[in-house]
Amino acid sequence: MHRIFQERPEILTPIFQLLGIELPEKPTVDAIVSDVTEAKPMARYVDTVLRVSPADGDAFLLAIESQEKRNPKKELSWPYYVAYLQSKYGLPVLLIVACRDRATAKWAAGPFDCAARGWTVQRTYPLVVGPDNVPVITDERTAAEKPAMAAFSALTHANSPHVEAILEALARGSKGLSPEDSDFIVQFMDAVLAGTPAGEKWRKIIMTFVNYFPGRGTVMERAYLDGKAEGEAKGEAKGILRVLEVRGLAVSDEVRERISTCTDLDRLNDWLDRAGTVEHAEDLFDAAPEAPPSAPERG
């Protein structure tokens, strides 16, 4: 979930509004090295680190972590990230934790204390975005105006009953974007939701909505056309094998594999036409005989 903050930093303004923190529109945002390794062999990496430079204020760092479940080790590493980054860059640090599970979000809010004998030396308050404060965006117009936020809404609510409606709104809203932006949305969502029920829903939805992108060459359209062509090729191959079997011709494993793996529709159509007349299955692959030349017209 943290990757969207790197790829689409315009999401920071609405996210900060959700958290009740003012952030000017269109600040300058730069990704910086997220390696916070202090000494080997222990290597530490923040998911995403951004330097935010508002036009009307002082710069600060934003450390962003995506958290799928409660992890007590983070109660120690998050304060370390904040202290290390502040020491290294000399800038104040805010920590955002993105969650899609309510129980995890509640735990991630902290605070996490470093204390002894009744005295608190350091207290860390992460800012948390999750199902309780990220809006469910199911409106096509809103998704078109704020596609990054709509994508983040889908990621945050991926495990909720609302996810299909959010994904449909995102797909519909993407029809008005440039091919590059719609490609980003399709690929990003496909990668982040891969292997999940929400990911399967997204793939079905983008195939359904491909008609909104005719001739634009988007990933969505290319995926649909590739899938359609593959389906047609399999259907042709199945038909050729069926004709050969009905005619009682022996079909070797080599012939079956060559037919089944062919993706050239023109060649498959030719084989299908010839499957009803060849004497042996192997004859399909022989070049078609040329038609005899026609007799010259007499004057």
pLDDT tens-digit readout, 225-243 = 565 566 677 878 888 888 8
Residue the block writes with tokens 């594999």 = 257
Q: Which residues pair with 123 in a beta bridge?
A: 113
Displacement of CA 215 from its chain's centroid (Å): 22
Q: What is the mean pLDDT of residues 201-209?
A: 80
The reported pLDDT for the residue numbered 86 is 95
The reported pLDDT for the residue numbered 298 is 47
Q: Which of 11-25, 177-191, 216-230 has the lowest mean pLDDT?
A: 216-230
Residue the block writes with tokens 């529109």 = 25
Residue 210 — pLDDT band, cuts 50, 70, 90?
A: low
pLDDT > 70 in the chain, percent: 84
Q: Residue ranges of the domains in the chain?
A: 3-129, 140-215, 223-285
The reported pLDDT for the residue numbered 275 is 84
How does pLDDT run across 49-99, given as a tens digit for each residue?
Answer: 999 998 877 899 999 999 999 999 999 999 999 999 999 999 999 999 999
Residue 279 — pLDDT band, cuts 50, 70, 90?
A: confident
Question: 53 with 8: CB under 8 angstroms?
Answer: no
Neighbours of 70 (CB within 10 A): 14
* pLDDT score of 3 more than 80: yes
pTM over 0.75: no
Amino acid identity of 177? Answer: L
In angstroms, what CA-CA distances link 135 with 14, 51, 151, 161, 162? 10, 26, 11, 14, 11
Which structure tokens are listed for 240?
């050729």
Q: At what angle do helices 179-192 and 147-156 cross, to 10 degrees?
A: 10
| Higher local confidence (pLDDT), 281 or 176 | 281
Q: What does the alpha-carbon distance between residue 103 and residue 106 come to, in Å, rounded to a whole number?
A: 5
Q: What is the mean pLDDT of residues 15-44?
A: 73
Burial tier of 155 (Cβ tally within 10 Å: 0-12, 13-18, 19+): buried
How does pLDDT run across 247-272, given as a tens digit for each residue?
Answer: 788 888 888 988 988 888 888 888 88
Q: What does the alpha-carbon distance between residue 139 and residue 153 come to, in Å, rounded to a whole number?
A: 12
How does pLDDT run across 107-158, given as a tens digit for each residue?
Answer: 999 999 998 778 888 999 999 999 999 999 999 999 999 999 999 999 999 9
The reported pLDDT for the residue numbered 295 is 47
- Which residues, in sequence order, are CB contacts of 162 under 8 Å at separation 6+? 136, 138
The reported pLDDT for the residue numbered 39 is 52
Phi then psi for residue 121, to 5 deg, are -85, -40
The reported pLDDT for the residue numbered 215 is 47
Question: 223 with 206: CB under 8 angstroms?
Answer: yes
How does pLDDT run across 94-120, given as a tens digit for each residue?
Answer: 999 999 999 999 999 999 999 877 888
**What is the DSSP-derived secondary structure letter of residue 284?**
G
The reported pLDDT for the residue numbered 37 is 66
Torsion sign, CA atoms 112, 114, 119, 121:
negative
Question: 127 with 21: CB under 8 angstroms?
Answer: yes
Question: 272 with 236: CB under 8 angstroms?
Answer: yes
Neighbours of 246 (CB within 10 A): 10
* pLDDT score of 219 more than 50: yes
